[in-house]
A and B are shown apart, each in its own frame.
Chain A
Amino acid sequence: MPAVQDTIDRVRKIDVDQYKYGFQTEIAMDKAPKGLSEDIIRFISAKKDEPSWMLEWRLEAYRRWVTLDEPKWARVHYPKIDFQDLYYYAAPKSTPGPTSLSDVDPELLRVYEKLGIPLREQEILAGVQKTDASELEEPSDNVYKSGRVAVDAVFDSVSVVTTFKKELAQAGVIFCSISEAIREHPELVKKYLGSVVPTSDNFYATLNSAVFTDGSFVFVPKGVRCPMELSTYFRMNEKNTGQFERTLIIAEEGAYVSYLEGCTAPQRDENQLHAAVVELIALDDAEIKYSTVQNWYPGDAEGKGGIYNFVTKRGDCRGHRSKISWTQVETGSAITWKYPSCILRGDDSSGEFYSIAVSNGYQQVDSGTKMIHLGKNTSSRIISKGIAAGFSQNTYRGQVSAHRKATNARNFTNCDSLLIGDQCGAHTVPYMEAKNATAQFEHEATTSKISEDQKFYVMQRGIPEEEAIALIVNGFVKDVIQQLPMEFAVEAQKLIGISLEGSVG
């Protein structure tokens, strides 16, 4: 398998705490003063040119947030966060709403280039050097050619560019930053924002509702199959900033969309906060596929620095026969606190959760999902693979519940953990709640180290130990990798290899 060989080569080249995306870029920034207050929220809202209802919505969330305590139930430990010592708004100065790539600060473009993010997607895919970036925006006759990706790039607090907008608009798909959506499509935002994750949901979601600065907005109208993969790349750059993005994806009746997000941040000694909210809404017969490759800076080998990734992600299968699928590859962040969930409200709706969480060094991962069966004949599937190495703690925490009216609810859960080294921990905390006799729930979990037999079998065939382990690990996570869009599957496989460096062998 070439991908595996590739992983091993990469693993060899890179030292344990060499985070590839740890560089920092000097860009003139526009920042709000440090701290959080109603004034800061008014400032953010004014900066974004928001209508008054949006400001009210934010203020209401803020007033509630002040009454809340931080959640403490997760298996993660960190010093108390001083929420007044953060910048809640930071934006590159040269962004009066860019319309095409040519308006974007070239320094910014270089950042994304360095990250290998395909803003110039067409060129990369075609292998041809095109000089005029704005050509990207031109609709061409092969609109429905597969394998292309539209990108929304978010830098600290704002979205800097969204590609392929015109082309998507032709199909009727709206793909833009959430700030733009609030201005251009207030009726849609008003109708759906906060309808899956209400402002009162939890500490971090409430904080996000008050101060969110940007994120993506996707609207796929009735009967439309989104012609290409959509993706957002989040980049945290400024010091002491928190990133609070908000993503809202709506698939109307019979629509289909596949969305991918990627995240990176510079290498710093202090911890940075990332508290995002993602809401997905699938109406009758709609399908949303949401994939994440999360690679925030995980901190150095001593556990210093890194991102606190406290994220609320929830999908609502509101319509009959709708489907929401979450796939995540978690390799970064000092602390991950994230439970992408599905509310299976519509009859015959289904939810899926595929996850690989790799932790090394002093990373702490507490992640999992919730599958809430409300409608009849709803089904859900959870496949979670945790790999813990170094001094890390890796927890799967998931809930499956069938409510009284959820006749014939069906769930299958499988969570496996692999331990590499004796200083790390793997934990499984599944909750199963059945209130309907016709519900059928199955859960299985295993924890083990790489079996000596398997390793022996592979090594006996002349494969060195390190490669053997990489091969077995890749086999262990295969079920999840298969769910990722092709391009990202390769990326994810490499990431896993890199994350395990220093522990394999």
Chain B
Amino acid sequence: MNIHTTPQRTPAETALIDAFSDRLSLLPGDGTVMLKRDDAIEAIKSGLPTRRIESWHYTDLRRLLTTVPDFDPAAAAKAIAPVVEGSAVLPVLNGVSSTKLPEIEGIAVQRLSEKLTDGSAAPGLDPYGADDAIGALNTAFVADGYFVDIADGTELDKPVELQNLQAGGQTHVRLSVRVGVGAKAVIVERQAGEGAALVSSVSQLLLDEGAEATWLIVQEQPDTATHLAQFKAHLGKNAKLTLFVMNAGGKLVRQEVVVRTTGEGADFTLRGINLLAGDTHTDVTMVLDHAVPHTASTEVIRNVVTGRARGVFQGRINVHQYAQKTNAKMACNTLLLSDDGEFSTKPELEIFADDVVCGHGATVTEIDHSHLFYLMARGIDEKSARGLLVKAFVAEVIEELDDEAIVEALETRLDGWFAAHG
């Protein structure tokens, strides 16, 4: 229906606007940064996105975000062990970065609060589109995080783990990484905690010419937390990025992935698993721009839905007119295991160049009965057989990552989830 309505502010919108006036004096930033914060809060004042905004069609944030907790100065998040043993850990506890930074050769780490204060972080604070609500929320409130610069030619032998840990209240964090020319790195972005927090987290990655990175997002918030996250990347010439997203928690989760290939020969791989349980809502939305010729991308997303969980995957591939010879493929497969669960998917192709090969596939189904029969005929009871099939369905995506330590670490996380929800 297109009947005119005059929007009234929801309690959550009011709480955010009030929180901004309260926090304003505590937020770091020079004039440029503060002006960007003003613009961002103006965007929030005009209302959180509803299902009428196409990119928020399945996640009506205005309706779903019912409560916004106050900032909690007493919250004390505990540090946790990294996903891959031996990683260099850069923790952000309750939205505050650490003053004791590890010294690693070839890496320069800066606290983001410093870069906000001197204004050098300002250019990254711009939203990427008119409906960038997560970007606006984060820009308005972000107080800390890290800026990591991996020098040209550096090859890291251990992963760097960026931890964003909460213990209630609100945390707004930004994690920026540049991987220099020809450098190689594995970065783990860890999102966890134990409170009923509102978390906004924006990650920015810049891959210079020939850089190679594997970025793992491991999101394991408790089912009381609202987690609004964004991952933005620019891929330079011949740069290669493998992004792995694992969502295994959170009450209301939206993970946006915004990737742009800006140099010829860039190659982007996205692998994602969404493990959904309970009465939760999880949305993964990807916007991928092929902006130059000769770039490639493949995306595979696997979802498991149990309980009363609702899942969403939206993936849009834009192939610009100049981006001839693009090769883009996307698949989204969902196992819907309960009658109360729900999954919606919208894989989009927007193509303006003719010499391309693009495709997408999406399926939603339950466990294949013939597979189940095969296992049960071999004496495996139904519950275990189901468990095996579901695990195989998602583990397939993990096994594609060719680093053994990472595969093992992720399978441990997977087993943990199945033990708790299987």
Contact = CB atoms under 8 A, between A and B. Distances in A.
8 contacts: A73-B54, A427-B348, A430-B348, A437-B339, A441-B364, A445-B347, A445-B349, A445-B360
A422 B349 contact: no
A434 B358 contact: no
B359 A429 contact: no
Interface in B346-375: 346-366
Interface in A408-462: 417, 419-449
B121 interface: no
Interface residues of A, number: 42
Interface stretch (A63-71, A82-90, A135-143, A467-475): A63-71
Contact of B360 (A70, A419, A420, A444): A444
A68 B347 contact: no
Contacts of B359: 444-447
Nearest to B345: A432
Given A432-B364, A441-B363, A444-B360, A203 B2 contact: yes
A432 B342 CA distance: 11
Contacts of B358: 446-448
A434 B356 contact: no
A432 B351 contact: no
B345 A427 contact: no
B247 interface: no
B192 interface: no
Contacts of A431: 57, 344-346
Given A200-B1, A439-B364, A430 B324 contact: no
Contact of B4 (A67, A420, A439, A444): A67
A431 B359 CA distance: 15
A404 interface: yes
A69 B357 CA distance: 38
Nearest to B367: A437
B356 A448 contact: yes
Given A432-B344, A432-B346, A441-B365, 16 more contacts: A71-B2, A419-B353, A422-B352, A426-B351, A429-B348, A431-B346, A432-B345, A433-B58, A434-B336, A440-B363, A440-B364, A440-B366, A441-B363, A442-B361, A443-B363, A448-B357
Contacts of B384: none
Given A422-B354, A449-B354, A442 B363 contact: yes
A249 B350 CA distance: 36
B321 interface: yes
Interface string B312-350: 000000000100100000000010111101111111111
Given A200-B1, A425-B351, A449-B355, A434 B344 contact: yes
A420 B366 contact: no
A447 B2 contact: no
A200 B2 CA distance: 10
A202 B2 CA distance: 8
Contacts of A447: 349, 351, 356-359
* 3 shortest interchain CB distances as A-B pairs: A419-B354, A69-B2, A446-B359
A70 B2 contact: yes
Nearest to B324: A422
B130 interface: no
B336 A439 contact: yes
Nearest to B347: A430
A422 B346 contact: no
